[in-house]
Amino acid sequence: MTRTNEVGETRVVGAVPATDAQPVYPHTMRLQRFLARAGVASRRGSEDLMTAGRVTVNGQVATELGTKVDVDRDHIEVDGMPVKLNQGAVYLMLYKPTGYLTTMSDPQERPCVADLVPRDRYPGLFPVGRLDRDTTGLLLFTTDGDLSQDLLHPSKHVYKTYQALVDGHLTDRDLGPLRRGIELDDGLCQPAICRVINAREAEAVAPQGVKPGTTAVEVIIREGRKNQVKRMLSKIHHPVIRLHRCNFAGLELEGVAKGSWRELTDREVQILKAGGIPPKQAVGKRAGAAATNAATRTRHHGSHGSAPKRNTYRERYTG
C-alpha cells in the first residue's frame, strides 16, 4: 500500500528487506532518481517507465512521480527484473541489419531494433542516435542517459564513419564539394573526410564486389542530420545504393555478427566518456595539415627556420 504525506510525496510501505544495503546513499530518495542512479534510464526516461506502469515497488505498480523508496529495504523491479543501485549502467553495441527501424516500439508492428537487444535483461535500454531502416552497421545502446546526450550533442562533434555504395562512376576529385562543406536544404555541412575505397575495404556494402557502374566511398562526418550522408552524395549526383556505419566515436564492430550484440569493454566505455577518438583517416588528415602548416611557416619565415634568408629583389621575388 501507499501513503501520501503532507507535502504530497507518496511512500510505498510494506518493505521487503534487502541483503545488499548501500549505506553510501541516502536511505530514501525519489523513485525516478533511484532508477537513474541504478543505470536503468535517464531521469526523464525513468519517469516514462513509471507512468507506463512498468515499475513496481514491493510488488505494487508505482506510477506517481512523487513516490519515494527506501534503498536499503524496498524491492524495486522494472518489467519484472530486480533493480539495485550497484548494478550500474549498461553499454552495448548492435550490428544493425537492414529492414529494422531504430525505435524501441512501433505501432504498426514493423521490425525494430528492440527485437535484437536484451531489453528484458536490461530495462530502460535505448539506442544512441539512429540509423535509417535500410542502413546497416554499428548502433550503440545504453541506459546512461547523460552519456547518450553528450555523444549526440552538436557541440561534441563525435566522428562517425560510413561506407556507401553509390550509383555511377565517382572519382576522388568528385568528392571535393564534400571536403569543402556542401550546402544542403537545411544549411551548410561541415567539411567531411572522404575517399574512394576498393572492393576489399567495401565488403560491408558490396559483398559481391563493386560492380561496373557503381563506386564505393568512405565518408567521415561529425554531424548527425537526418539522412545526411545520403543527401550529401545525392547532391553531387551519386545517389546511395547501400549505406553502412562502421565506426562511431572510435568504436568498431569487432567480433559482432550481423543482427547480434555484445557489451562494451571497460576501455570502450571510457573512450565514449572521454568524447570518443577520431578514426585513423581523421588523424592522418590533421597530421598532414599540421605538417603543411609547419612547412608553410618555415618558407615564409626563413630567418627563423632552416631556409636561407633572401636579401636581393631577384632572390626574393623570382628565386
**Catalytic (active site) residue 79:** no
What Cα–Cα distance (Å) separates residue 186 from each residue in 131, 133, 162, 239?
Answer: 19, 22, 21, 18
- DSSP of 127-155: ESS---TTEEEEEEEES-HHHHHHHHSGG
Other Cβ atoms closer than 10 A to 11? 18
Q: What is the phi/psi pair of residue 248, to 5°?
A: -135, 115
Q: Cα torsion at 203, 206, 210, 214 (round to 10°)?
A: -140
Q: What is the phi/psi pair of residue 70, to 5°?
A: -95, 115
3-state helix, strand, coil in the chain (%, to 5): 30, 25, 50
Which one of the listed residues 72, 74, 79, 132 is annotated catalytic? 132
Burial 284-316 (b: 16+ CB within 10 A, else e): ebeeeeeeeeeeeeeeeeeeeeeeeeeeeeeee
Using alpha carbons only, how large is the chain's radius of gyration in Å? Answer: 26
Other Cβ atoms closer than 10 A to 120? 10
Cell readout for 133 is 531502416
CA–CA separation, 262 and 179 (whole Å): 34
Cβ-contact 165, 202 below 8 angstroms = yes
Task: List residues with catalytic annotation.
Answer: 132
